[in-house]
Structure 1
């Protein structure tokens, strides 16, 4: 366990050196947050001040929490593992005295911790100043929200890892990454709350792990879903974590066998 803490801390320090990129990320996040907020405000105002349970204040909170989560969960995906597979460097990872998934999960947590503090919190504070936020009164919402955030990062890591592991069989994974990113951003609730979806699309979204990455932590942290009602949502996140972990382990095992069979 100390090994993984060391890896996570190293990842945190590594990303803390990218100061200019962090400032640029905060600026971009803030600008897009204002754009998204204006669109949602217009829709809610047109609907008479409330739309599917969202008021202006709740929509503002939804937008700014979404912008804060964008970097930590890495909503646009990563390609590090797939590139290492294609370059053959994955052999080094498999020989390390650590779990393959554990190694990259520790790096993910360290990276996500910095991205949350460096690129997530500042836009959230800017949003609080410019549009205001509807924050929960029950302290339990913050505790459950923190747990939901950790689970959201974990689910996002595992789904992204599944996409990356297809590199064991595909010569190029960029197209799959683009498709994954588009579907994830829609069904996770990042673009609009999933309760605004038509019933058929809402059913599809809830049958996937994507809402566990964005919609669930936002609902829990904002208090829009009370703590007792949030517990089943966290249970869903835990369920997806277990399923995706098993899928990633099986996929990794099959991928390693595929490389060995091919003489790699």
Structure 2
């Protein structure tokens, strides 16, 4: 039988959790009270609230009341909200490093997916929370799993957001050529969105500068189309080939868009 107090495991409390009218679970954790209460209408329990609020003391007390490493305690630590969020996910998403450390020590599932295919690491990457990312990676978080409907990895997301410190953490641990649903690699994303520092990190880590997407577009093509001159120069300096055909519908090369633009400008002059 679980040693978790009955008050934790009671039935649902359907008190709404709005900003000015919180549930009893939220009120207890946010005020620093160590009272253990039941779930609310979102499926949140006391541990979810304490983790989301970053209340280290509350998290510690609730985990201690759970009975250490018993099966019931493990189930409680890994219990999910109606959105599939674990306490570890909520703490990681908000950058509460100490809470994440406590939850991992209590055997929280570090790779638990939410309903929308996120996880603690992906949430921390998205938020630019470098210290949390470093902790999760050091504890064995899966770095190459795909997330979102576009099949992006954590490295794709870090590059897209321009979180260069996180790209450095992930670059030597991730599949640099991981394709999304359009065969776009993280380096391609860096070129597309003009994330020059991230692009340089990936190039220096050995990413392929001549990778091609499903439509045969290259990083050099997309960087030139988007007008990211610094990325164009960097790619050329590191061996990007301007003679690769980049179209499924006949010859098309990276600098054709720029040549066409120059011609149109000249004709107007």
State the TM-score, normalized to the length of structure 2.
Answer: 0.23
Q: Which structure exhibits the higher relative contact order, with contacts defined as CA atoms closer than 8 Å and separated by 6 or more residues?
A: 1
Q: Which has the higher helix share?
A: 1
The structure with more radius of gyration: 2
TM-score under structure 1 length normalisation: 0.24
